[in-house]
Amino acid sequence: MSPGTLSMLFVMDPIGSIDIAKDTTFALMLAAQQRGHRVLYCELAELSVDDGRAVARIQPVELRREPGRHATLGAPRTVVLDDELDLVWQRKDPPVDQDFITATQILALCKRALVLNRPDTVIWANEKLYALGFADLMPETRVTRRIPELVDFLAKRGGEMIVKPLGGKGGEGVFHVRHDDRNLFSILETATGFGTCWAMAQQYLPAIREGDKRILLVDGEPLGALLRVPAAGETRANLHVGGSAVRAPIDARDLRIIERLRPALQRDGLFFVGIDVIGGMLTEVNVTSPTGIQEIDALEGVCLGDRVIAAAEARARRHRAARGL
């Protein structure tokens, strides 16, 4: 390997079960391989700690765009991450449960190896709540576990709202609620676990019928975007529940949001994120394992994975220089 070769570990869901036509982690791994880097793989359960050092049972992996033969794994080895790795990608999908938190805390022990996104930030930067630092860019929002407060919010927002769990992904548990829905209280009981879990309520934005724009950012700079248009009869625009991917320019309203977010993302070490925008309003900031690269590539004829890995190389060089490595 060349002197510029990096050892990159991807901590992720089981690689054998991913959809190689859609999975963003696969696109990043393939781009890293094509750029000559050493690509390694492990799951959360392979992480551990030895005398204060982050350790993992890792496997080298060779990627190819062949369904069913997309990954060939090498022999596993147990290594100290700071001894053998330059870069670690924490790409495990939500939920951000206790296993996810523990794994991320283990990765936070890395000093020499750069972890993206920054582990301590990922733990506290809930994908729904982080956006509330920019509440003036968002639809009106309420976070509570009290059902009467959700009913009051609904009444004051024209009788329609979106309710969603704080820890979900891919549209899971998202409800479009109307004041005259006979299932209203049943929905709110489900959303809050009968008042035991916080839920987020947001003003319903009719612009969702035109689409939910996913904008990918690298180090606070726009990488690309797509519009996810919900299917007829469906509120959620997520692609895996029938939403359609449509080309989407990044317009002036999007750039205003990005300009506001950039300093915070850079300060907090959120290198690769995906923001969701409906009708020019920010709804979420996805920091764990943002997706959309392959859909944008297909729509625009680009290779965003290559651009992300190139940016990560530059970040890794700065990381090493800052530590005198």
Q: What is the pLDDT of residues 155-202, one digit of tens each?
A: 998 999 999 998 877 678 899 999 999 999 999 999 999 999 999 999
- pLDDT of res. 325: 67
DSSP string, 37-76: -EEEEE-GGGEEEETTEEEEEEEEEEE-S-TT-SEEE---
- pLDDT of res. 258: 98
* Active-site residue identified among 214, 238, 268, 313: 214
Average pLDDT score, the chain: 93
| Segment 18-33 mean pLDDT | 97
Tens of pLDDT, residues 229-276: 887 766 666 666 667 889 999 999 999 999 999 999 999 999 999 999
Query: Catalytic site residue 62?
Result: no
CA–CA distance, 3 with 86 (Å, rounded to integer): 13
Q: What is the CATH architecture of 7-124+305-322? A: 3-Layer(aba) Sandwich (3.40)
DSSP string, 290-301: ---HHHHHHHHT
CA–CA distance, 90 with 254 (Å, rounded to integer): 27
* Active-site residue identified among 157, 228, 238, 315: 228
Which CATH superfamily does the domain covering 208-286 fall into? Answer: ATP-grasp fold, B domain (3.30.470.20)
CA–CA distance, 87 with 81 (Å, rounded to integer): 9
Query: Catalytic site residue 149?
Result: no
CA–CA distance, 45 with 142 (Å, rounded to integer): 35
CA–CA distance, 117 with 184 (Å, rounded to integer): 38
Centre a 10 Å sphere on the Cβ of residue 108 and count the other Cβ atoms it contains: 17
* Active-site residue identified among 164, 212, 213, 315: 164
Between 170 and 98, whose confidence is greater?
Answer: 98
Say what the pTM is. Answer: 0.93
Class for domain 140-204, per CATH?
A: alpha beta
Query: Catalytic site residue 64?
Result: no
| Segment 139-146 mean pLDDT | 97
* Active-site residue identified among 127, 219, 284, 295: 284
Q: Where are the domains of the chain?
A: 7-124+305-322, 140-204, 208-286
Residues contacting 59, CB < 8 A, separation 6+: 40, 41, 42, 73, 74, 75, 76, 77
Q: Which percentage of the chain shows pLDDT scores above 90?
A: 85
Residue 1 clears pLDDT 50, i.e. is over it: no
* Active-site residue identified among 117, 126, 238, 286: 286
Query: Catalytic site residue 284?
Result: yes
The CA-atom distances, in angstroms, between 114 and each of 13, 43, 48, 60, 63 are 20, 18, 17, 18, 23
What radius of gyration do the chain's Cα atoms show? Answer: 20
* Active-site residue identified among 128, 157, 213, 315: 128
Residue 307 clears pLDDT 70, i.e. is over it: yes
Beta strands per DSSP E along the chain: 7-11, 38-42, 47-50, 53-63, 71-73, 77-80, 87-90, 114-116, 141-144, 160-165, 175-178, 199-203, 212-218, 221-229, 244-247, 272-278, 281-286
CA–CA distance, 268 with 8 (Å, rounded to integer): 21
The CA-atom distances, in angstroms, between 57 and each of 15, 52, 84, 91, 287 are 15, 16, 12, 16, 25
- pLDDT of res. 237: 61
Query: Catalytic site residue 164?
Result: yes
Query: Catalytic site residue 300?
Result: no
CA–CA distance, 129 with 123 (Å, rounded to integer): 12
∠ CA 119-124-128, rounded to 5°: 120
* Active-site residue identified among 86, 254, 276, 295: 276
Between 240 and 111, whose confidence is greater?
Answer: 111
* Active-site residue identified among 212, 236, 238, 254: 236
- pLDDT of res. 242: 62
pLDDT bucket at 140, cuts 50 / 70 / 90: very high
Closest CA relative to residue 285, chosen from 166, 201, 191? 166
Please give the distance of CA 173 from its chain centroid, rounded to a whole number.
17
